[in-house]
Amino acid sequence: MAEIITLGETMVSFTPQEHTGLAYGPALNMRIAGAESNTAIGLCRMGHSVAFISRVGTDSLGQFVLRSIRAEGVDTTLIGQDAEHPTGIMFKEPKLHAETTVYYYRTNSAASHMSCEDIPEQEIEKAEILHFTGITPILSPSCRRMVFHAMEIAAAHGCAVSFDPNIRLKLWKDQDYTPLMLECISRASYLLAGLDECKILYHTDDIEHIAKQAFVSDRLQCLALKDGSRGAWICDRQGICQIPPAECACVDPVGAGDAFNAGFLSGILEGKSFVDSGVLGAFCGARATETYGDTEGLLTKAELEYALQHINPVCR
């Protein structure tokens, strides 16, 4: 039985082995990338039981995704294999003095064909938290219906819902998905959002104003606002607390938000306060920026405890 279930798409990510633009044909590293599976892996590394709902193709890339996620301890039995559609892929182009550019090739992917039939009610019924991001419901109409079906099941069985808008304007294209994001927020127990995303959704970066609008929903228990190198803000109905940033040597910020989510949700599962959970999230998010992969920088429970206590383990 999984404590937490995550729901979304995992792609195969190709990244240059050196700081050379893709136009010049550099050798590439192959990894996995997906917001919800990143969070699932982060939670597993901290000792929690996690199951992942998704679909991959029956191609070799799908097998790579399954093997990679399974190797981290995530329950992959809820991942379907689609013989008619391919596993999604993406290319990352890190830049030394600018944000990483990402190119997605996920149209008509196996995961974009997920539907309500992929949601196992009995598994969500036994879980404590269902986690997903705003990426999944915009992949296709069937994914949108699936996400709301999953949230209805969670609500019926007392399973909390964790939602990260994870806005990707490249995926939005010329569509405005703000109403869809706000509808998901209205059904969430925990809203884990970037401050820049809330500026898009609420047309302000004022923390108090954002919190006031988010807590219109009676279901929302906590709002965690992620603000990158400036730390985070933890908001509940009693007040707002700023979480200072954790020290790190950032090389690639992609995946930091997912790592924050893993740390925060780990704290919630362990019965910690919202603020203490936010501190865990801040440390996990900071450390995730120190590698180029989406999951390589995710901390184990022991590593997180060392970081929190400022302990340097003996390495040699």
Active site residues: 258
C-alpha dist (Å) from residue 287 to 144, 246, 282 = 32, 8, 9
- How many whole angstroms separate alpha carbon 223 and alpha carbon 195? 11
DSSP 34-86: -HHHHHHHHHHHTT--EEEEEEEESSHHHHHHHHHHHHTT-B-TTEEEESSSP
Q: Which of 50, 55, 109, 112 is nearest to 79 (CA)?
A: 55
- How many whole angstroms separate alpha carbon 182 and alpha carbon 179? 5
Taking residue 246's Cβ as centre, other Cβ atoms within 10 Å add up to 19
- How many whole angstroms separate alpha carbon 124 and alpha carbon 149? 11
Q: Measure the CA dihedral 190/258/54/146, to 10°.
A: 30
Residue 262 structure tokens: 């893993």
Angle, helix 195-202 to helix 178-185, in steps of 10 degrees? 110
- How many whole angstroms separate alpha carbon 223 and alpha carbon 186? 12
What residues are paired with 193 via a beta bridge?
225
Give ∠ CA 106-107-111 in degrees, rounded to 5.
Answer: 65
Give ∠ CA 233-301-314 in degrees, rounded to 5.
Answer: 115
* Residues 145 and 7: beta-carbon distance below 8 Å: no
